[in-house]
Structure 1
């Protein structure tokens, strides 16, 4: 037993020791005074009730109260006439109380005395009251030995209880310290596993406190690290694969130029253009990877502004004009003259990626429609094409990194779109049907006019 468990165990013992010290002081050292104080207050209360009963000549109630009080009781007038007595009329009215104690003007007094005949030490509560228009004294007495005997019983029982409680406390301290430190041990071992590279860690801590919150955070951290590790492996594997092919082609073209076609201008230009196209493809893939990594890292801060959706779409369409003409693709825009809120540059990237995918899906000759619909405070933007479409079982994977429907492109376009729209809090989805085309939907906040 070491560390936190040892500290908890010692803390339990210290707290228990302090509690038992307080009990020892109250139940052993000061028990006599405490119990004497208690009995005096009890006799005072009984004396008041008995005096009231006697004043009303209610002997029945007075006798019941005397029986409850477990004390010897006398009542005597200031002229020495005995009104009530529980024990004969012997010395001191049968209780051995010196009569000098009755000659007092105090309303209520407490005295200790020794019986002159039998030597018993007693405690008396003397209360002045009115009886049939006469001044009288009511006296309740108990032997001091009853208080001492009760205190001794408390003391003897205390040491027995102390022994039992010490054993129970030690056992409970061991159990509780072990129980409280087990989640900490689990967290420590989980941290060690994560540090050693084992990310398949799953903590099951049910303590309903900060330790459970910490365990959940560590589970989340391990899960995120696992995703990051998988992303890194996928990134390296896909980049390696995607770069290897164009690099091999570039190398092949360059070797052919050096070996065979250095003097053939037409072939040399064709091979150089092919090499340049491969370089452009690699450059675009690297840009996409960097963009996606930056979006996923949380480093991108949105620059929200109001802009005209039609103007932005027209600019994007204009940049694709040569490619559209080359594939005989027409673009129709509808209901786009609306002001929306968003990061204009990132939304431009969304439109470009969606438009690029639509163009790739159309082999030659087709139609792309970009339109919008007003829905409450939102604008739903729709990019549709008459391309070859996507199989239903593949639709759920289109937003994954490096996923390619037809092995064209980098497989990062829609992953970037997803990250951008998530940053904007947009709702988005995709619909597609084979040989009929694909439609992508997403929402933007409309500017109130």
Structure 2
């Protein structure tokens, strides 16, 4: 069977038992270093992906993928027509009307700012997970005209209230009275508590019936501020929402989750990017250990190099031989790293749970952290990038020692043989 000479000799050197066992030890350490570095990088990025996915799902479970709202004061009187047209659009899987109010909530001498959202309980399931996040009470208890409200658990704790208590809502709108301008106040009955696991909502959001919110905002009777959308592919939400708005008559404001939470998700991407760079340094250190390994191999094989040169091997052939040898170390380390990293990434939740059960500890204490399990999301794109980067560094690390080997002078090398 035909074998290219550099590949044949390079692999033979890799398999052969060397006289210098220290060189073999350094080669093994380099290989294991690449493997462990890749395993650490794949597992850490998988766990970060899992956390990011969990947080993203919780945020989008309360926030809509996109909103189309009225650009004119007074809200939308024809929101039912708008809702029907939006639902008929392609890529839209759900839509619901809403009214939003920035207000202050007061009770027991405590005051807290919150975003109040007026909803229709029968429609809200299409765009949010409020029903599944309820800790007490029911969404159906939001009945028009009864001025009922559902609070986040942390918001209720901050106000010192619970189910069945009352809370006073103070809106930015004002009333003209004989004694002057007074803020508009309205007492609401607390009929439910919800918990999302995100402080932004648990401490800063509340829900009421849309008609009650419209009355607080002094919108027309049965008016809505806009429509919230749920898109088939949330990453296409900006394009889809603007395409829908372009087909509507009149002027509308369009926003999507990438705008509303831009800073938060940008911070997550930056965190992942920096963690990737930091952990890649571990792989880089291991990969460049190949340099020291090959330098010692070249020194050990000076006689062999001289014989090959005298038999007609070109400097390029000699260089290729040692690049094959170093690359094979990197290739084996990369393959083992992929296998170990993917297997550990797939089972990290089970492994961590077993360790917690065996030693009676909690790495993520449920009383402190909202996410008490260790989520993991192994992505093929991350694994391929890591493997490609590790293998590329291994190849680069072989260039200098192989070049040194190609510059070996046969006469000088054979003088003392």
TM-score, structure 1 length as denominator?
A: 0.27
Bigger radius of gyration among the two: 1
Higher relative contact order (CA 8 A, sep 6+): 2
